[in-house]
Structure 1
Amino acid sequence: MIRLISIVIGLGFTLVVLIAFGTGLANVISDGQFKEATVESVFHEHAHGPEGGFSFEGVLGTWDKQQLQRGYQVYKEVCSACHSLNYVAIRDLGQLGYSEAQVKAEAASWQVPGIDPATGEATTRPGLPTDHFPSPYPNNVAAAAANNNAVPPDLSLITKARHNGTNYVYSLLTGFEEQPAELLEQFPDAKTPAGLYFNPYFANLNLAMAPPLNSDGQVTYAEGNPEPTISQMSADVAAFLTWTAEPKLVKRKQTGWAVLGFLLFATVLAYLSKIQVWSSLKKRDDD
């Protein structure tokens, strides 16, 4: 009787496992993992960073403030024409090594929305360090009208909003290319529509943004900096946008090491205290 019950229980367990396996297989198929290959699945590339990576990567990473300043220059001269940086205050540039006077000068070089005190009408005025970076468009309708019906995203948190964000920004900026001939051979209906641009690092391969960095030397760096190639400018602005999204990244790493050091010290201290306490009790028991 016991053997019969054991067999029934075993069969029941096996049935449950088979049902679970079948359900999982059905979910995988429904998720499209065994569906016919799509143009995105075949030609989409995974993001990568520049050769040598970024200075802030790894547990001992630090900011390269010269690179961040170059990245800010690229944003200001190129990206700010379409993309906002709404969540960053101009005074935060002081963290990049700019002096107080330089921050004030940078703030004054931006035109921010204001109110005419005489008429009460909307106007613009030179920025102050306390202002946030202004949006290039008054609203999303105007932004879409100027960009093929696509609203350019705010870049303040873009590297946190995208998977592998820093490398994604770098790859996207350096990834514009002509649509491969083999793509059209394999997917004849996948031709990039007029007004869009092919980029294998973008989710659906075609985006409304034209290549913003389209030639070496597009931005002129100060003497002593690397040559402003497309790759270098892309890496610099990707680093800058990593800072805007996570300005305390390096500080958090440094704090983590301090916390680990304290915990190690506390652990050793606790162990020595334990030895001291139990040694006296053991000595008393021996007596």
Structure 2
Amino acid sequence: MAALRVAVLAGSGRGLLRTPTAMKTPKANMSFASLPRSKKVALTTLGVVAAGGAGLALMLHQSVKASELELHPPHYPWSHAGPLSSLDHASVRRGYQVYKQVCAACHSMEYLAFRNLVGVSHTEAEIKAIAEEFEVVDGPDESGEMFTRPGKLSDYFPKPYPNAEAARAANNGALPPDLSYIVNARHGGEDYVFSLLTGYCDPPAGVSVREGLYYNPYFPGQAIAMAPPIYNEVLEFDDGTPATMSQVAKDVCTFLRWAAEPEHDQRKRMGLKLLLGSAILFPLIYYMKRHRWTVLKSRKIAYRPPK
């Protein structure tokens, strides 16, 4: 049996040695002309539909774009723009004051409650005092009637108008947008909002603006129904910061960034923790990988032909 096994192995070894070095493989001859008629029609139809869809999308994109006079907002060096930078909470506090005294007359923030400001820009006692300044409709009571009460921490910011129709009627048909997520809803974010607030100017020669509208090159269409909302010394900050136009716009944009992304600081804090943990975990995983694979990667495979 041993002699037979040796003979079989020797024969298989000689067979391997006699294997030709070059192997013939079938060549794939795939071309459009060799395809069946049904596949040709299907591919042609698919190409026409794809090209037509791309052209239609491009035409729609060009049609909804504003005119060539529209300006794109520049990128401003926000203090919270860095990957590990937090919001300026003093600016958030001033931004809420700007919203309360200037913006809240027309714009709502229906997704933000008074309690959200606790520990962010104000203390709990300060927010309770601010909430109690508003009269909130509540009810019904035991007799089935609605009543008004001072605001509480759980109440949301009051709306300036009872409904959208009343808002349009008070603003010549224009509906003031809700500002809860306006920074995320506009291309450019806080850069766009800052440029819009500070970009009011006289229309250039040859451009006429309808009565009741104002020229703003950063607004799509350049004609906006909102009058210039801020100017120098439009209000007086509680902390004594000079209320210049740029300072007021910067603070309200920071407040709107926090309103649209309340988890901003927590998200970056968790990212920093993940980076610190990865700095310890990744070297350990690499060492384990080298330890596990060192036996396989350091082995040598040698072929010893039979004698």
Q: Structure 1 pair 22/119, CA: closer, same or farther in 2 (3 Å)?
A: closer
- 1:108 corresponds to: 132
Identity of aligned residues (%): 39
Q: Which runs of 5+ in 2 are unaligned?
A: 1-26, 35-42, 301-307
Who wins on radius of gyration, i.e. which is larger?
2
C-alpha distance in structure 1 between counterparts of 2:293 and 2:238, whole Å: 67
Which stretch shows the higher mean deviation, 122-131 or 239-248? 122-131
26, 31, 47: which one aligns with 2:58: 31
The two structures have a TM-score, normalised by structure 1, of 0.80
> 1:173 Cα deviation (Å)?
0.7
Deviates more, 1:228-237 or 1:114-123: 114-123
SS of structure 1 residue aligned to 2:138: strand
For 1:274, give the aligned amino acid: K
- Map 1:158-237; keep pairs closer than 5 Å: 158-182=182-206, 184=207, 191-213=208-230, 215-225=231-241, 227-237=242-252
Match of 2:105 in 1: 81
- Note the C-alpha offset of 1:135: 0.3
Q: Using the alignment, how far apart are the partners of 1:34 and 1:121 within structure 2?
A: 52
Aligned partners of 1:270 and 1:26: how far apart in 2?
Answer: 48
The residue number in structure 2 matching 1:12 is none
Query: Match of 1:40?
Result: 66
Structure 2 length normalisation: TM-score? 0.75
Alignment of 1:118-133 (within 5 A): 120-133=144-157
The 3-state SS of whatever aligns with 1:137 is: coil
Q: Does 1:245 align with 2:269?
A: no
> What does the per-residue CA deviation read over 1:102-146, in whole Å, with 9 as the maximum and x for residues that have no partner?
111111123322347476544543211111101011111111110
After the TM superposition, list the runs of 4 or more consecutive aligned residues in structure 1 that deviate by more than 6 angstroms.
4-7, 280-285
SS in 2 for 1:267: helix
Cα distance change, pair 23–116 in 1 and its aligned pair in 2 (3 A): closer
Q: Distance in 1 between matches of 2:179 and 2:30?
A: 65
Distance change in 2, residues 1:169/1:283 (3 Å): closer
- Matched with 2:22 is none
Q: 1:70 to 1:256 in 2, by over 3 A?
A: same
How far residue 23 of structure 1 moved from its aligned partner, in angstroms, is 6.8
For this pair of structures, how many residues does the alignment match? 271
Distance in 1, Cα, partners of 2:68 & 2:89: 38
Q: For 1:91, which of 115, 120, 127 is the aligned residue?
A: 115
What is the identity, as a one-letter code, of the residue corresponding to 2:70? H
CA distance in 2, matches of 1:122, 1:242: 35
Higher relative helix content:
1
Q: Deviations over 1:57-90 (max 9, x none)?
A: 0202111011001100000000000011100110
Whether contact under 8 Å (1:49, 1:171) holds in the other structure is no
Aligned position for 1:137: 161
Q: Structure 1 residues 40, 7: closer, same or farther in 2, change over 3 A?
A: closer
Structure 1 residues 148, 271: closer, same or farther in 2, change over 3 A?
Answer: same
CA contact (8 A) 1:75 1:237 kept: yes
